[in-house]
Amino acid sequence: MTPDRPFTASVFIATSLDGYIARADGDIEWLTSRGEQASDAGYEEFAAGIDTLVMGRGSYEKVLTFGAWPYAGKRVVVLSTRLPEDADPRITVVRDLDALVKDLAAHGARHVYADGGRVVQAFLRAGLLDDLTVTTIPVLLGGGLPLFGALDRDIDLAHRSTRVLGAGLVQSTYAIARG
């Protein structure tokens, strides 16, 4: 938290070994089929500590295919230039990062979960992330939607922990190093 940003923001996400969060068509079967073998990856504990979830339109549309809304009790904000503002009463739609930061501050967000490749990339570029937990799935996809994209500068990370989960998954947590 800083005076101009009264919340912390975290990432909790899984990638293939070659850094993709989904296939090019958005398919994540490769993740869900292996993730079930991982045992406790710590998501429930992580989710219990957040009050607001920010995701992009693509992630939101993927969540809608799950059948049940997994974010009951959490405020969900979707960062999108195309999604109608009244798309779903369970979400708030904002158009850009400036509006997002103002919205989060106005609604008293304390711990924000940034989810989805484009949102994570935007948060990184804007200096809005505090920590990342990345679970690496032992599979090579060879292409798809990357977790990380082009940056205008190096972003130094401080390693906090690494643990091996079931089925060969490896989870590492990093803090974003500041100045």
pLDDT of residue 89: 96
Distance (Å, whole) CA 34 – CA 7: 33
pLDDT of residue 5: 82
CATH number of the domain residue 150 falls in: 3.40.430.10
Per run of 10 residues, the mean pLDDT along the chain (length 179 residues) is 80 96 92 75 93 96 92 96 95 96 96 96 94 96 94 93 93 91
* 2 falls within a domain: no
* 103 falls within a domain: yes
pLDDT of residue 41: 87
* 3 falls within a domain: no
Instruction: Name the region of 144 (left: φ>0; alpha: ψ -120 to 50; beta: rest).
Output: left
Distance (Å, whole) CA 51 – CA 111: 6
Question: What Cα–Cα distance (Å) separates residue 42 from each residue in 77, 135, 163?
Answer: 23, 10, 11
pLDDT in tens, 48-74: 999 999 999 999 999 999 889 999 999
* 143 falls within a domain: yes
pLDDT of residue 2: 56
* 147 falls within a domain: yes
* 1 falls within a domain: no
Q: What token pair was written down for 41? A: 């990856």
pLDDT of residue 152: 86
Query: How many other β-carbons are positioned within 10 Å of the β-carbon of residue 7?
Result: 20
* 135 falls within a domain: yes
Gyration radius of the chain over CA positions: 16
pLDDT of residue 86: 94
92: domain range? 8-176
* 82 falls within a domain: yes
How many domains is the chain built from? 1
pLDDT of residue 179: 66
pTM of the complete model beyond 0.75:
yes
Query: How many other β-carbons are positioned within 10 Å of the β-carbon of residue 63?
Result: 20
CA geometry: angle 55, 122, 175, nearest 5 deg? 90
pLDDT of residue 99: 95
Question: Which helix H or strand E contains 162, and what residues bound it?
Answer: strand 157-164
